[in-house]
Chain A
């Protein structure tokens, strides 16, 4: 099994930290292999920011994402820039408030997670990325919830851990609701 995830947004959303949390959960707390690559320098601070995570049961021989299985789009620009790369049967998770214009005819499974709005309701917009992590955990069976929480504790400054854990729960809840809605 090899799963490729691309997370796109703009600088300041914690895009790279999102990749870091996912990968750490998988390979430090979990027993999978994982790598992260990310956009660098002014690129990661300015308009467009990207993090790519590969999770695999085997050694990762090619550490580069070409056609992600999962795309998380947290800005219109990231959506437009990366949507064509997504595998035909892939999973697309978007923040609908940040990606107002979406393509109509897509074969991908699409989930809308208003992560920024949820984060704002919690009082800290900055936790939107962790809301997304929660949703991602609910919408895929790639991650172990406890391992993700461990990873959040490790990768978030102490003072903000509790806040981020509640952001995670909110996102997870939202994800589960989306799945139930789809099933019914």
Chain B
């Protein structure tokens, strides 16, 4: 039904981050979007409402974010690549069914265009205050995958990657963008459809009577039969055995299930994690940043080099799972680290945990404005002297 030309808008565009995200989703094969209006993510829903009908994709505006998250889980089990998009207040409501998606191993993408909180906070201002919520927001033990774009081009590229990771690991995958990037207009180059790598979910290779719905392969990910394919799958948010049936008081079943749900992300972390390095070879002071502050960090590092300071940047494209190895390896060879974040300190806690003895200088920024290169440069200079 879908004509490739209509799902992939090949060409050079000047659009905002939200629109680029929506286009990335459609290019990745998203055929179901459910959402609820919220600043600064609404433009994603608006773009989907306009575009999905062009090729038979489904856009539905739900009654709230609880329903939006539920609907994309349902759609995913009905065989569609699905996505929702929101901001802080809606992200809070989604946490309930994010847990359901984790427990039922439902591939889906959740976009959070972060704004300042707590509560209604600063609807039109960007922030990075939901990073820990993305990791820990739903109850119980689990692992998720979250990517942090720092440009409009990455809003497109990383949304595609979110879909690919969600399908590969059968887990809800997050695009954690700040409101600034969501509303930033920038050039996006959309490649030809055949140049875009997309991943389709692993299907069962056995007949329905031989199929065990939650029995994992070696990568800890079970093949997924969808509704209507004759496999009669039972899906539940309760602790379940490999057949998918509730087994809620058997400690072994809970242990094996939770261990595997965490393990399929942890054990594959090396395949999932992506970082970007800038002038790290001989660096003595390293900035660790993600999202919009990483752009100002590039400028700050250049300025530091001009001032004779051996500075470098490690940009976390993947925020969750946290790139422990990369940060640990750096901490063993640099003098100090600088972490700018648009919050009161979230990823910096992870850096400190991994960096151990290496001094970590934190540069918080709240209020809506991103860090300027000179602000970060000042901290680099202090860190170099210390």
Q: Indicate whether A and B are direct neighbours in the complex (CB within 8 Å).
A: yes
Q: Which residues of A contact B (CB under 8 A)?
A: 19-20, 23-24, 27-28, 33-38, 40-41, 43, 59-64, 66
Contact check: which of A37, A43, A59, A66 meets B185 at CB < 8 Å? A37
- A28 in contact with B185 (CB, 8 Å): no
Interface residues of B in 3-54 (CB under 8 A from A): 12-14, 39-40
A40 in complex: contacting residue of B12, B124, B297, B370, CB < 8 Å: B124
Type the 1/0 row for B281-293, where 1 means its CB is closer than 8 Å to any CB of A.
Answer: 0000000000010
Q: Is there an interface contact between A60 and B295, defined as CB atoms closer than 8 Å? A: yes
Residues of B within 8 A of A (CB): 12-14, 39-40, 123-124, 180, 183-187, 292, 295-299, 302, 369-370, 372-373
Q: Could you list 21 examples of A-B contacts with CB < 8 Å?
A: A19-B185, A20-B185, A23-B185, A34-B187, A35-B186, A36-B184, A36-B186, A37-B180, A37-B184, A37-B185, A38-B183, A41-B39, A43-B124, A59-B295, A59-B298, A60-B295, A61-B295, A62-B299, A62-B373, A63-B180, A64-B369
Grouping DSSP codes into helix (H, G, I), strand (E, B) and loop, the B interface class, with mixed when no group exceeds half, is: mixed
A18 to chain B, nearest CB (A): 12
For B16, the closest partner residue in chain A by CB is A36
Contact of A20 with B14 in the complex, beta carbons under 8 Å: yes
Contact (Cβ within 8 A) B39 A40: yes
Q: Please indicate which of the listed interface residues B14, B123, B298 has the most CB atoms of chain A within 10 Å of its own CB.
A: B14
Q: Lowest 6 A-B CB distances belong to which pairs?
A: A61-B299, A36-B185, A24-B14, A27-B187, A61-B298, A40-B124
Docked pose: A30 CA to B367 CA in angstroms: 34
A35-B184 in contact given A20-B14, A40-B124 (Cβ < 8 Å): yes
Structural contact, B13 and A61, CB atoms closer than 8 A: no
Cα separation A34 to B187 with both chains bound (whole Å): 7
By DSSP majority rule, is chain A's interface helix, strand, loop, or mixed? Answer: mixed
> Which residues of chain A have C-beta atoms less than 8 A from B184's C-beta?
35-37, 63
Of B39, B183, B186, B370, which is in contact with the most chain A CB atoms at under 10 Å from its CB? B186
Which of A20, A37, A62, A64 is the most central at the interface, judged by chain B CB atoms within 10 Å of its CB? A62
Q: Which residues from chain A contact B299 at a C-beta distance below 8 Å?
A: 61-62
The interface residues of chain A lying within 8 Å CB-to-CB of B12 are 28
B270 to A: closest C-beta gap in Å: 29
A34–B151 Cα gap in the complex (Å)? 12
Chain A residues near B40 (CB, 8 Å)? Answer: 40
Task: Assess A28 versus B14: contact at CB under 8 Å? Given A36-B185, A60-B295.
Answer: yes
| Chain B residues with CB below 8 A from A35, complex form | 184-186
Cα A64 to Cα B372 with chains together (Å): 8
- Since A41-B123, A61-B298, A62-B299 are in contact, a sample of 11 more A-B pairs with Cβ atoms closer than 8 Å, ordered by chain A residue number, is A20-B14, A23-B14, A24-B14, A34-B187, A36-B185, A38-B185, A41-B124, A59-B298, A61-B373, A62-B372, A63-B295
Contact of B296 among A20, A23, A61 (CB under 8 A): A61
In the complex, what's the smallest C-beta–C-beta distance from B23 to chain A, in angstroms? 15
**CA–CA, A23 to B299, complex, Å?**
21
Alpha-carbon gap, A63 to B183, bound state (A): 11
Contacts of A43 in B (CB 8 A): 124
- CB pair A62–B295 under 8 Å, yes or no, is yes
Residues of B within 8 A of A36 (CB): 14, 184-186
The residue in chain B whose Cβ has the minimal distance to the Cβ of A43 is B124
**Bound CA–CA A60/B370 (angstroms):** 13
Contact A27 B369 (CB under 8 A): no
For the complex, what is the distance from the CA of A66 to the CA of B180, rounded to whole Å? Answer: 15
Specify which of A20, A43, A60, A61 lies most central, judged by the most chain B CB atoms within 10 Å of its CB: A61
* One of B13, B39, B296, B372 near A28 (C-beta < 8 A): B13
A37 to B123, CA, bound (A): 16
Residues of B within 8 A of A66 (CB): 372
* B183/A37 in contact, CB under 8 A: yes
Chain B residue contacts of A40, Cβ below 8 A = 39-40, 124, 183
Q: How far is the CB of A78 from chain B (nearest CB, A)?
A: 18
- Shortest A4–chain B CB gap in Å is 13
- Asked if A27 and B124 make an inter-chain contact with CB atoms under 8 angstroms apart, the answer reads no
Closest to A60 in B: B295
CA distance A33 to B186 in the complex (A): 8
Contacts of B185 in A (CB 8 A): 19-20, 23, 35-38
Closest approach, in angstroms, between the C-beta of A177 and any C-beta of chain B?
Answer: 31
